[in-house]
Amino acid sequence: MNLKIATEIGKCLSNQTRFQILEWLKEPEKHFPPHETLKHFNDGVCVTYIQEKTALSQSTISTYLTNMEKCGLLISTRHGKWSYLKRNEKTIKEFTDFIT
Amino acid sequence: MNLKIATEIGKCLSNQTRFQILEWLKEPEKHFPPHETLKHFNDGVCVTYIQEKTALSQSTISTYLTNMEKCGLLISTRHGKWSYLKRNEKTIKEFTDFIT
DNA sequence: TTTATATATCGGAAATTATAGATATGTGTG
DNA sequence: CACACATATCTATAATTTCCGATATATAAA
């Protein structure tokens, strides 16, 4: 972790919706309905579910999630036509260690 | 710690200068000259030293530091005409716990 | 009380971010 | 291949943030 990346993460955490998404993804089963095709949350939650819950537009949420992945906060996995997002606990730890 | 305050902290960490200040304040003696009047760093570093090191204007740094104090990242202590800033480790810990 | 120094606040121009709609791309299905 | 659906990217406008100079306030010293 370095200052530049840490600041990029800070930018993601400077918006309530993005911060909220990171919180929701701590416990996907508690905040999202089960996936019909994929029977588990091992790779996180699909973009559509996250988008519906935030009530922001699809393009906005897609951009948010892309940026959160770019700076390492999230990990994206594609299964067929769906993208699933989960927390990247390794980077999150590096970030909190960097602050502390 | 709650989402709103955590996001305010995120805003402070979304700017490289502010993030850098928080890092410098981990080890004041390493990054700043000794204070002439105050013989220790127990209450942190004065605004002027921080401002000089960043090379941004006095008004900008003053605003930065005020905001960082408002959201709980820093603690401000006045000694005479100087204000000294130090990290608020308690809030920082609450923030990192909130993320994790 | 006047002056000098340290910090805070105000007002505004420039830069960046937020957010949406339109469109493009990727992928499974008929 | 054509279609439907999930996601990504492009473009543009509104909102927010950055950052400064000017000015105000607080405190100490003369």
3-state secondary structure at position A99: helix
Q: Which amino acid is located at B19 in the chain?
A: F
- The pLDDT value recorded for residue A39 is 86
CA-to-CA separations, B33 to A17, A51, B45, B64, B83, in angstroms, rounded = 41, 50, 9, 21, 16
Which residues is B78 bridged to in the sheet?
A: B83
Average pLDDT, chain A: 97
Q: What is the pLDDT of residues A27-71, one digit of tens each?
A: 999 999 999 888 899 999 999 999 999 999 999 999 999 999 999
| The pair of three-digit structure tokens given for residue B95, joined into one six-digit string | 């923030």
- Beta-carbon separation of A10 and B7 below 8 A: no
CA-to-CA separations, A58 to A12, A16, A20, A55, B78, in angstroms, rounded = 17, 17, 16, 9, 49
B4 CA, D18 C1': Å apart: 22
| d(C-alpha B88, C-alpha B16), whole Å | 19
- The pLDDT value recorded for residue A32 is 97
- Beta-carbon separation of A7 and B14 below 8 A: yes
| A97 to chain B: closest CA residue | B96
| B23 to chain A: closest CA residue | A99
- The pLDDT value recorded for residue A36 is 87
CB A62 within 8 A of CB A22: no
Compute the half-sphere exposure of residue A98: CA atoms within 13 Å on the CB side of its CA: 18
- The pLDDT value recorded for residue A96 is 98
Residues in chain A closer than 8 A to B10 (CB atoms): 10-15, 19
- The pLDDT value recorded for residue B39 is 87
| d(C-alpha B44, C-alpha A2), whole Å | 23
- Identify from A1, A3, A9, A19 which residue to disrupt to test chain B contact, counting B C-beta atoms within 10 A and taking the largest count: A19
Residues in chain B closer than 8 A to A7 (CB atoms): 13-16, 19
Number of C-beta neighbours around residue B55 at 10 A: 8
| The pair of three-digit structure tokens given for residue A23, joined into one six-digit string | 């919180």
| d(C-alpha A54, C-alpha A48), whole Å | 10
Phi, psi values for residue A76, rounded to 5°: -110, 135
pLDDT along chain B (100 residues), means of 10: 98 98 98 93 97 97 98 97 98 98
Indicate the residue of A6, A19, A93 with minimum beta-carbon distance to B7.
A19
Which domains are present in chain B?
3-99 (1.10.10.10)
